[in-house]
Structure 1
């Protein structure tokens, strides 16, 4: 995802626990964890969670967004390595240690009190990520486990962008860490999002898929981000269909299995490249995703889901969409995805075909 106006060439892994039980960490008094137990939500709600940056500018009041749109889940960004010195300690945007955070914990409590839940997103464009600074995949996974434990998470998103996703060693640590977390936290729902290209994905994205295959790691979902370089819905759908072919050829899946493991992450309004994606475009892609049985439909970002007058210099803004809209128009569409797919058990219990070589 772009970090507001940054180029969105990214790789993400989303991890959700659909049915795990919750207990208060024993270190509650010292770590200021969340105090509200997460509700049990179907996996398709985590597949619909729009990205939101809770510590940026004037972030939206999430319970009010829930009441206005019906959306129940949100993807909070970003967990990175500490700025400057690096290290293997998870921090918000490289600045606020997870271990001492109280602000985001209060936001999560508010969402859960209103009946919703969150996923926490790792990475972000241009930052230094833990896969680059931790000494091993096991250490990387342990750092992310701290985030899961702190916030009693059922969902975790790896948003691996430049420069990390061009580093095969760091990419392998991140994918292996996701696999470790999947095994350590039974019931994890895992989505891997890679960069979109007219051919489906980039060489770096193909490397990520190949890495997952070599590790015998089977996530529930792979998504691409068809914006920045995709001028219209036709080109977006063409990339999604090309990626569908990549999934089948890489993993040996049939078409139905590939669609059940496939998703899209969009950008609302003006993109970094100057494309404009409207509510009608999002509606077309929503209908497409549901008709194909896809398991993820989300966008960057909720902070931008507002109307505004575009600046004269044509800049892409982090606080509004620059297209005519009402507040939360795009979020209402992600809520529709979860509501319209709730009976389909999206992304859950889809076994790879017998000829596939990887397994859980």
Structure 2
């Protein structure tokens, strides 16, 4: 039997796993995204204390940058030898919480692209489930992978295998949102799922970076997506909502859309009143105020670019899980020690991965070779924001 045939009971007792009891599915459905190795990762224990949050969606597992069908964090850190993410998970579980792991995302090479077929793709993901004793996993299928028919067939096939071989595994599938619900490639992904007989706990859309304007446009997209689910799978409205999810972006999106706390409350009210399965957002790394609050009209991977208190947006996830966030005054965040600025970024200089520069009073580290790409121009660009300097 291949690794893809390993059961969830074996996974829970594998080396590196803790045997952590599963939370209720509503917590996995509410888990916001957290990059544990990039974008100035916040302390999950502090977030849990301040908000009551119990679940985190860790991102992202990818194929190795150099090629191959084995899981890594961000394309660079092999899951097999990981201790850093394991430490984060242990911190969360020591406080009674748990994690889901998200695979895919916007950048990098996905395992569905690198592996030969669904079975080998599932085997790679099973290594992640076994390593961390997971009870939940998220397939984030978006550009450019979801334009690759063979890759999507591998991903959906892998998700189906994992669901079968890990009883009780909570599986979400997240894809791009449009004002019409989802686009052509998203619809093709749904048809692939139907053809393989695969039904996850939810299909979630990301209604941002697509000409959205506040909560009204997002709830309209969710209504339209419900119609797509109904027509694709033959479900009635209530069944479609029970398999539908929302994945938002707090604050300023990559394309300059603004989603405030009041927008999140409106979408939360919509999600709960329609009995949707999932409500999450990208990302906890951004759930804190920039300096200045609007970040000079720029999007950041480490703050929201809107006025807020730390972890304002996480509290909406807590509410979706059915818990009332703490109302006490949180302990003030200590003033950080000033950090000196690296040499200024130069548009004509070629930078290799690991190079550090400063731009707009922030330090930045190159994720890969780059030239004439402005730091901070895109969350998914070549530059990792290392905070103010």
Please, what TM-score do these two structures have when normalized by structure 1?
A: 0.85
Distance 2:43 2:311 in 1: 12
C-alpha distance after superposition, 1:142-186 (max 9, x if no partner): 000000000001111111222111001100100000000001101
Structure 2 residue 193 is matched with structure 1 residue 212: yes
Residue 287 in structure 1 maps to residue 269 in structure 2? yes
Deviation at 1:193, TM superposition (A): 2.0
Q: Is the 8 A contact 1:39 1:116 kept in 2?
A: no
Check if 1:248 corresponds to 2:230. Answer: yes
Does residue 24 in structure 1 map to residue 8 in structure 2? no
Please say if residues 246 and 279 of structure 2, whose CA atoms lie closer than 8 Å, have aligned partners that are also in contact: yes
Q: Which residue of 1 aligns with 2:112?
A: 131
Equivalent pair of 2:118/2:158 in contact (CA under 8 Å): yes
The answer to whether the Cα contact below 8 Å between 1:119 and 1:153 also exists between their aligned partners in 2 is yes
Contact 1:266 1:299 in 2 (8 A): yes
CA deviation vs aligned residue, 1:209-268 (integer Å, no higher than 9, x gap): 000000111112111111112112111111110000001111010111111111100000
Query: What is the CA deviation profile of residues 22-55 of structure 1, one whole-angstrom value per residue up to 9, with x for unaligned ones?
Result: 7432xx3xxxx14x33233111100000000000
Aligned-residue CA RMSD in angstroms? 1.5
Q: 2:319 aligns with which of 327, 336, 341?
A: 336
Aligned position for 2:37:
55
Any idea what SS the aligned residue of 2:58 has? Answer: strand
In the alignment, the residues of structure 2 paired with residue 174 and residue 106 of structure 1 have an alpha-carbon distance, to the nearest angstrom, of: 28
1:315 corresponds to which of 292, 298, 307: 298
- Match of 2:224, SS? helix
Instruction: Between the two structures, name the one with larger relative contact order (CA 8 Å, sep ≥ 6).
Output: 1
Partner-residue secondary structure (3-state), 1:321 = coil
SS at match of 2:61: strand
Match of 1:141 in 2: 122
2:80–2:131 CA contact under 8 A, matched in 1: yes
| 2:146 match | 165
The CA deviation string for residues 73-92 of structure 1, in whole angstroms up to 9 with x for no partner, is 001111111112x1101001
Per-residue deviation, 1:194: 2.2
Q: Tell whether the 8 Å contact from 1:39 to 1:115 is kept in structure 2 after alignment.
A: no
Query: Structure 1 residues 20 and 253 mapped into 2: Cα distance closer, same or farther (>3 Å)?
Result: farther
* Displacement after TM superposition at 1:21 (Å): 8.4
1:199 aligns with 2:180: yes
- Verify the 8 A CA contact 1:20 1:187 in the aligned structure 2: no
More deviation, 189-198/45-54: 189-198
Task: Measure the CA separation in 2 of the matches of 1:56 and 1:140.
Answer: 25
Q: Secondary structure, in 3 states, of the residue corresponding to 1:157?
A: strand
**Which residue does the alignment assign to 1:8?**
none
Structure 1 distance, partners of 2:137, 2:12, is 18
2:164 maps to 1:183: yes
Distance 1:285 1:57 in 2: 26
CA contact (8 A) 1:88 1:130 kept: yes
Q: Which runs of 5+ in 1 are unaligned?
A: 1-18, 342-360
| Partners of 2:288 and 2:37 in 1: CA distance | 18
**Take 1:166 and 1:44, find their aligned partners in 2: how far apart are those partners?**
31
Q: Once the 2 structures are TM-superposed, how far is the Cα of residue 340 of structure 1 from its aligned partner?
A: 5.5
Residue 304 of structure 1: aligned partner: 286
Question: Quick check: 2:11–2:129 contact (8 Å CA) kept in 1?
Answer: no
Q: Show structure 1 runs of 4+ deviating over 6 A.
A: 19-22
